[in-house]
Amino acid sequence: MTPGVGSGLQRAQSFMVLATLLYRASHLTVGLLALARSRPGHPVQYAGLAAALGLSVLVYGTALRRGWFDRWHIRADVLVSGCALPFALWAWGGVQDPASMGWAMLLGGSASAAAAVALERFQVPAAIALLVLTHLIGYRLVGAGPAVLAGHVNSLVFSAAMAWVFWWYLRRQGRLLDEANARALAAEAHKARYAERLEHHRALHDTVLATLTTLAAGGLDANAPQVRERCGREAAYLRRLIQQTADEVHHREIGAALEEAIGSVESLQLRVTARYHDLPQVPPEVAAAFADAAREALNNVRRHAGTGHAYLTAAGESQEGGGAVVTVVDRGPGFDPERYVPGLGLRGSVHRRMAEVGGRATVDTAPGEGVRVELRWPG
C-alpha cells in the first residue's frame, strides 16, 4: 500500500533515504580527499569518482523526489559503484595497492546499506554476497592482507545489517503511528456521528414529537392551515433524515446551514426534496455562502418557476481539499439565457456570494427545460 502524504510510513522512508544519502556522501568525500592528495591522479580515477557521483545523484535525487528508492537504480548502484568500479581502477586506473583502492571500496558499504532497505527480501542476500565476493577479489588483486579483507567484509555485512534493522524499526513505528492515527480519526468520526444523532433527536423532540403530542391531546385543529403547513415541513425533514445512510451523515456546518435555508423557504409554501451524500468539512464562511446562495436559488424557484416543488442535492467531491457541490433544480418553464439579464438575486446572492469564498455558481437552463443552479467550492 502506498503511504499517504505525511503518514508515519512515509516519514520512516524519508528518514532512511536521508540517512543512506549521508552515508554515501561521507564515502564520496573520502574519495575526493584521496584523489586530491594523490596529484597528479590518473584520469580513470577521476572518471570513476565522477561516475559514482553521477549515479549517486540519480539514486538519491530520485528517492528524495519520489519519497523512496527506485529498485533499478539501486541495482545499478550495486553493480557499478560497488562491483565494477574497483576492477576498473585496478585494470585501467593504475591502482595497485590497498590504500589507493580504499575510497572505491568504501562505496560498497553505502551501496550495501541502500540495497538492504530498498531491494526485495530475497534480493538483499544476493546483492551483499556479490559485493563481498567482488571486493574480496579486488583487494586480493592489490595484495591486501587478511586483516584488511576481514575488516572490509565486516563493514559490508554490518552496513547492510544495521541499515535493515533501522529500517525495520522505523517502518514498524511508522505503521503503529498510522494505525493509532486511523483509530483516532475513526473515534472522532464516531463521536461526530453520535453528536449528529443527538442533534437529530433533539430536533425530533422539539418538532415532530411536540406536534404529534399536541395533536393527540386534542389541543390543535388538524385541518387548520398553519398546522398542515407545519406538518408538511416536519414530514419533509423526516423524509430527508430517513434517506440518509450511515455513510451519508453530513458534517454539521454545511448540512445544518442548508437545512436552515430549506426550512426558511418551506415556510413560504415551497416543497423541497433534498438529498445529501458524503459532505466534507468546510470552513464556516463557505457553509454560509452555500446556504445563502441555495436559499436565493430556492426563492427564485418560488417566485419565477411557477412550480411549488424544487430539488436540492449536496455532495462532496473526490478531490484533495474536500470540495463540495450543491445543485438546485426545478421543473419550471426555464428561460432563454441569451435574452435574460440576471437580476440582483442571481448576481449578488448567488454568483457573488460563491465568488467571495473562492467558489463559483453556474446556471443551466433553456426554454421548457427548467433551471439548474450549480454551486461549487472550490471554484
Mean local confidence (pLDDT), 59-76: 94
Instruction: Estimate the crossing angle of helix 98-118 against helix 146-204, to 10 degrees.
Output: 30
Q: Which of 78-82, 86-90, 180-184, 317-321 is least confident?
A: 317-321
pLDDT the model gives residue 5: 47
**C-beta contacts of 201-205 below 8 A and 24+ residues apart:** 203/237, 204/238
pLDDT the model gives residue 247: 42
What is the distance between the alpha carbons of residues 332 and 308, in angstroms, rounded to a whole number?
Answer: 9
pLDDT the model gives residue 40: 67
pLDDT per residue over 304-316, tens digit each? 888 889 999 999 8
pLDDT the model gives residue 265: 79
Domain ranges of the chain: 8-181, 247-377
Q: If you average pLDDT over every residue of the chain, what do you get?
A: 83
pLDDT the model gives residue 134: 92
pLDDT per residue over 83-96, tens digit each? 999 999 888 888 88
DSSP assigned state of 270: -
Q: What single string gives the DSSP state of each residue in 100-124?
A: HHHHHHHHHHHHHHHHHHHS-TTHH
Beta strands in the chain, from DSSP E residues, in sequence order:
271-277, 309-316, 324-330, 360-365, 371-377
CATH of domain 247-377: 3.30.565.10
pLDDT the model gives residue 269: 73
pLDDT the model gives residue 132: 93
Cell of 359: 467558489
pLDDT per residue over 252-269, tens digit each? 578 888 988 888 777 667
What is the distance between the alpha carbons of residues 118 and 112, in angstroms, rounded to a whole number?
Answer: 10
pLDDT per residue over 6-25, tens digit each? 688 888 899 999 999 999 99
